[in-house]
Structure 1
């Protein structure tokens, strides 16, 4: 009886180990598929008029489009682990420019936070405000991006608070944020962050997830190595 019981226990343990191993392998494969860059030789019709101001030179030959949510933890990790290297090596050298397009889907505060960045743009501080949101990100809809906190961020950036508050209260940029959301969905962004790299010839590469800097170098280095960069 004890021997049979031991056999049953051993079999159960074996099944559990196999299940865990298969599960780990399966989700690893899913992650690899999710983060593998996909290349399209077709020129995409991407509407960026509602997106952020361009970060970098308007004449940069390569365009990086980031679809993001200010409450997205993966976006937070990309912002803190990858973005600075891209700015140093591609944006500031004139090789590429960056445009942020809102994809606010994680919570109600995501929409208001996105609107707030354009209220900041009215005072010439879009990117300062954008950076502030990712520096102070907390849990989704826990109050970190409430109106009071958004106004406090504006105060820290020496903005006109009456103008900023009025912009938020009237939802001045609600349609703009909604248009960005629709554009992100149209371009097939199924999560955040999602990136589309537009080459000088118009061909595109899509990168999903908070990829490391090396993944962007692999895509962008061939695009910029043979291009004459215009110096400001």
Structure 2
């Protein structure tokens, strides 16, 4: 499997161009990081789509982020229909909780739902019920209501949150993203086993189509 070396390249109109066998970003400490495709995917969400899809979209998001919400409302369904459901692309979500404790709590709750094999159902509930950045809408009462609606075992779900089972996991995802140069949400790394392209921000679906066509 090819390895990706992260150094520095400029971001142009929201897309950072990839190079054959290498992707260049510069973390704050300017240290080169060598990654494999599997390392980029590991510890994120369950794969959405076929695990055998040749292209991966790795989304870095925050459940309170305005532009993450817009991506999920305006763009994701089109990508699902054209690429994920046809087996061309798989999607993995990784948390990058920029907006404080409520974003961390929401991310923890999604992983608690994953313990009952309902990560994506819970994830979608969060974005469908988005109510702004730092407005206090992410509450235990709301998370409990989502758990009930998607038929989770409430006791298991609440025990998971109460013991902060996934707190370190979510914070580690943030640190990993920051370490490879992620600095905004949403951000996307699109890659196969030879190259990576980066999209920064909620770009129009045409940007994703153009980027995927480069593989």
TM-score range (shorter-chain normalised) is 0.7 to 0.9
Counterparts in 2 of 1:56-205, with a 5 A limit?
56-199=49-192, 201-205=193-197
TM-score by length of 2: 0.84
Structure (1 or 2) with the greater helix fraction: 1
Question: Structure 1 runs of 4+ off > 3 angstroms?
Answer: none
Structure (1 or 2) with the greater strand fraction: 2
- 2:15 maps to 36
C-alpha displacement of 1:203: 0.4
Aligned length: 191
SS at match of 1:139: coil
- Aligned with 1:210 (options 199, 202, 207): 202
C-alpha displacement of 1:69: 0.3
C-alpha displacement of 1:34: 5.5
Long gaps (5+) in structure 2: 1-10, 24-33
CA deviations on 1:55-91 (whole Å, 9 max, x unpaired) are: 0111000010000000000000011111001101110
Aligned-residue Cα RMSD (Å) equals 1.5
Q: Give the conservation status (yes or no) of the 8 Å contact 1:120–1:164.
A: yes
- 1:222 maps to 214
TM-score by length of 1: 0.78
SS at match of 2:92: strand
Quote the Cα distance in structure 2 between the aligned partners of 1:184 and 1:207. Answer: 14
C-alpha displacement of 1:103: 0.1
Long gaps (5+) in structure 1: 1-31, 224-232
